[in-house]
């Protein structure tokens, strides 16, 4: 998937027994959940403009996936990466 709001995948790795499969992706510094927790500790909040921007990016990424017949199945703040 090549899209500005989707992390680039580098491949797939399988354990020697074949019981676990890992997706290799580019490194991204933050996930949304840990970023929100850090902001909370520091007494900070996203502005409404930030929320609109983040939601627009997320929805564009999901639309791109759906346009290519891909269903994510695990959209949550831990999987929403921020750079």
Establish whether 74 is a catalytic residue.
Answer: yes
DSSP E strands in the chain: the ranges are 9-14, 21-25, 30-31, 81-82
Could you give the CA distance from residue 81 to residue 78 in angstroms, rounded to a whole number?
Answer: 7
Q: Cβ–Cβ contacts within 10 Å for residue 70, how many?
A: 12
Candidate list 29, 31, 67, 74, residue with the active-site label: 74
Tokens read off for 69: 């017949």
Annotated catalytic residues are 74
């Amino acid at each position: 998937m090549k899209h500005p709001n989707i992390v680039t995948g580098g491949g797939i790795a399988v354990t020697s027994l074949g019981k676990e499969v890992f997706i290799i992706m580019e490194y991204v510094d933050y996930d949304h959940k840990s970023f929100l927790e850090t902001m909370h500790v520091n007494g900070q909040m996203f502005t409404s403009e930030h929320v609109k921007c983040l939601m627009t990016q997320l929805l564009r990424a999901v639309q791109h996936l759906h346009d290519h017949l891909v269903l994510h199945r695990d959209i949550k703040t831990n999987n929403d990466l921020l750079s």
